[in-house]
Each structure stands twice: as C-alpha cells, then as structure tokens.
Amino acid sequence: MTRLFAMQKKLILLLAVASSLTWGQTAKQDYGADIYWNATPNDVNNLLKNLKDFADINYNMDVKFLSQISPDPEKNPVLFRSGHYNFEYTLAQRTKLREFMLGGGMVIYNTGLGSQPFYRSVLRELKEIFPEQPIQRLTADHPIFHAFYDVDRVKYAPGVAAGGYRGDEPWFDAVEINCRVVALVSRFGMAIGWQDAVDAKYQAYESESAFKLGVNIFSYASAMRAWAKNAAQAMKYVDKPEASSDKVAIVQVVYDGVWKTRHVGMSVLLHTFNQQTDVPVKFNIKELRLTNPAIFNAPLLYLTGHEHFTLSDKEVLQLRQYLQNGGFLFAEACCGRKGFDLAFRQLMKRVLPTSRLHSIDKSSDLFNYPHQLTALGVTPTLQQEFGKAAVPPIVEGVEVEGNLVVVYSRFGVAGGWEMSQSPYARGYNEIGSLKLGQCILMHAVTQ
C-alpha cells in the first residue's frame, strides 16, 4: 500500500456505491440484446469483498438499467459495464453519460473474455461521447497501475497470447479529462478473474492480476472522485476557448494524441501574468497544428501531454524553422508523466539535432523576474521522491546561437495553474507552478 493511498483513505470512504450497468433481452431499449451482461454474477461482489479484506474499505453495489442511472455522480460515482457483443447508445444515453463523467463520475468497461465486438463498440461510443478528446492506451507508469498495488506487469491467461498479444503490460484504454480518467476500457477480461474462474483459452487476466487491477481501479476512482469534487469548484471544464482578436496569441500545439490535458490552466496563467507584471500586452490562446503558418506570429508555443507522442517530418521541420527564427517553445510533462518526457526528449533530438537539452543554471535570468525562484513547493507525490516539501526549480532548455529557445519542465505545472493538482501528480504545487509559469512567460516575451 503506497503512502499516497493512505493519504486518500478517508476520501475513498466517501465512495459508497458502485453501480453496475446492466442490459439483456428484457431491456433492448437500454442496451440491446447482450444476454451475457451478467455472465460472471459474482465478479464485482468478489472484488468488493477483497477491497474490504485487504484495504478495509466498504463498498456497496446496485444493479440498474442505464435509464435508472442518475447523471449526478453523487448518487452513483462509478458505473461498471461488461459485455461480449456489439452495442450502440442512443443520443440521449450518450448525453447522460457525458454529463455524468464530466461531473466527476467514472465508467469502467470490462471486455468479456477479450471480446473484439464489444471492445470496438466501446471505443466507437466513447469517440461519439467525447469527440474532442482522443482515446489513448495508458502506459505502465499511469497512476491507475500504482494506486494501491504496483501492477505495471501482469499475468495473462494463455488465450491472450493465442489471440496475438504477447506483452506483459496491462492493457487499458482511457479517456482522460483534466488529468482524470473518466472512462476506462480493459482490453482483456478482468471480471472472470474476479470470479476466479479463468480458463486457459480465455483472453483474460489471471485471477491475481485481475484482483490487483480491480483494487487499483476502485482506489484510483475513489481518490480522484474526492479530488474532482474540490477541483470542480475551482475550475470548470470548457468545451471551446473564447477567442479575442485584440490580443496577442499564445499557441497551444495540437498533435495526434491527447494534446490538451488541462482546459483552462494556460488561461489562468495568462490572467495572473497580466495582473502580476507591467507588460502592457494582453494575451489570448489559439490551438494550432505546427503545420499552420500562423504559429510564426506567436511569441510562444505551449506543448504538453501525458503519454508518448510523435510528430510528422513536416511538423518537425516547421518547429525547427520557428525556433531558428526567434520563436520560443515551453513544454511540460503534465503530471510529471514519463511517457511524454521520453517522447519530448526524442523530439528535441529531431528538431535541433546539433543542440542539446540541458539543465538551466539557477543563476539564469529565467528565475529572477517577476519572481526570484530559489525553491518551489512540490506535490505530495513528488515530496515522497525528494524527501522534502520544496526544491530548487528543475528546468531544462535548448539554446540556438546563445539564445534560450526551448524551456522544458519534466514535472507538471498546468494542474497547479488551475489550483488543483491531481493527487497523483509529480509536479510543483499551486504557488510554485504559477510563479514558474510567470517567469517563463516573462522570459519568452522580453528576450
């Protein structure tokens, strides 16, 4: 049990109900005719019993039709659905589920015995529910694999390898909004493992791995639900940013993948920057791909993400030209995630192969205005790693002809800008994130 989970234990107790979405021949108007929605009737009950036995946490489970589910997560914080066949939601059902998830709820989809039809249906429906947010496979460093147990490696039943997958990492796809998994899809069956009835031919997790993953999922859901309730009071999810023609545009880089991890963080940073400094220019945010020539009118590009990503050769060339012509790139690994960190380092070798990403010296002007940064507070997770509550700013950069053109933080700051760092974030705290962000903006617009 990690220290982080122990810190969240009281919050987990707030999660009282895990509602299981059901469907069958008598409920075609809700779910279609998947008669195997309850093929493993003791699965969730067994998992919840393990949660009580091993984590001393009490959960209750209700079985309901989707039409009976409230879109208010306070009434049913976690929804669980398992199945084998194709299905399709109605527009009203998609709208309800979107409201539920954006309000702080979480939906867990279990692919019965690795069913391809059900898996494809889930991915298709999630794209309909969240057309603006890509579905992405979670890498092994995601906190959902470490919320209680460390489960970055698992044991599969032989049927998984027979079906063509021979890895040993857990396979979860997810939709993440504001650094929180709102919809989780298990590519291979977990429920059969919770019932301890795994057969060698099944495309499923072995029972021990399935139980550990299940405990992690509900631990994560509980901690994030408690956090989401507080975060929602500070910042509201915004579908589309407001545009303003009389402001200088800061560009957030759009790429294939989850390029937007926080929806109002940069707006908050720009607002506080204008309040903190005497810089007369007011800023706005545009979201553009690097192939758009309008990036050359922006004084700063902002690039962030959680997971691994790649850019096309054309995007790399355009970014190189932008930086060599006086542009400035600020990048961060949101929540301190290692997948993005590795991808960004690989990107810099492609963009500026003759320069190197190096630690910026603490005497740099970057850390002197509008704040003198000698130490920054860090999140509880990062505090565990460093053994202290504040550290000197750890920032890297790339220079071109003696000018700093890239500034990169491998620790997350966007959540701090929104005054709501995730409980699992490896980053700077709210005050530290804002101060560092303001110093980077000042350097970008005055160098």
Q: Is residue 348 part of a domain?
A: yes
Please list, residue by residue across 379-399, b when 16 or more beta carbons sit within 10 angstroms of its beta carbon and e when fewer do.
bbbbbeeeeeeebebbbbbbe
Kindly report, residue by residue over 14-47, the tens digit of the pLDDT. Answer: 222 334 443 333 333 344 445 555 555 567 777 8
**Does one domain contain both 226 and 318?**
no
Enclosing domain of residue 209: 3-234
Let me know if 178 is exposed, middle or buried by CB neighbors in 10 A (0-12, 13-18, 19+).
buried
Contact 24, 34 (CB under 8 A): yes
Other beta carbons within 10 angstroms of residue 100's beta carbon come to 22
**Does one domain contain both 185 and 280?**
no
The whole-model pTM stands at 0.85
Kindly report, residue by residue over 78-91, the tens digit of the pLDDT. Answer: 899 998 999 999 99
Contact 184, 174 (CB under 8 A): yes
- Structural domain count of the chain: 2
CA distances from 203 to 37, 108, 199, 200, 338 (A): 17, 18, 9, 8, 29
Let me know if 210 is exposed, middle or buried by CB neighbors in 10 A (0-12, 13-18, 19+).
buried
**Does one domain contain both 353 and 210?**
no
**Does one domain contain both 18 and 75?**
yes
Tokens coding 193: 């493992």
Could you say which DSSP state residue 62 is in? E
Helix (H, G, I), strand (E, B) or coil at 11: helix
Residue with tokens 């007369």, as numbered in its chain: 280
Kindly report, residue by residue over 126-167, the tens digit of the pLDDT. Answer: 999 999 999 999 999 999 999 999 999 999 999 999 999 999
Residue with tokens 């009580």, as numbered in its chain: 52
**Does one domain contain both 113 and 257?**
no
Kindly report, residue by residue over 385-405, the tens digit of the pLDDT. Answer: 999 999 999 999 999 988 999
Residue with tokens 């069913």, as numbered in its chain: 115
**Does one domain contain both 268 and 149?**
no
Q: Is residue 241 part of a domain?
A: no
Closest to 421 measured CA to CA, from 408, 430, 411: 430
Contact 440, 393 (CB under 8 A): no
* Residues contacting 304, CB < 8 A, separation 6+: 252, 259, 260, 261, 262, 331, 332, 333, 334, 340, 414
Q: Is residue 265 part of a domain?
A: yes
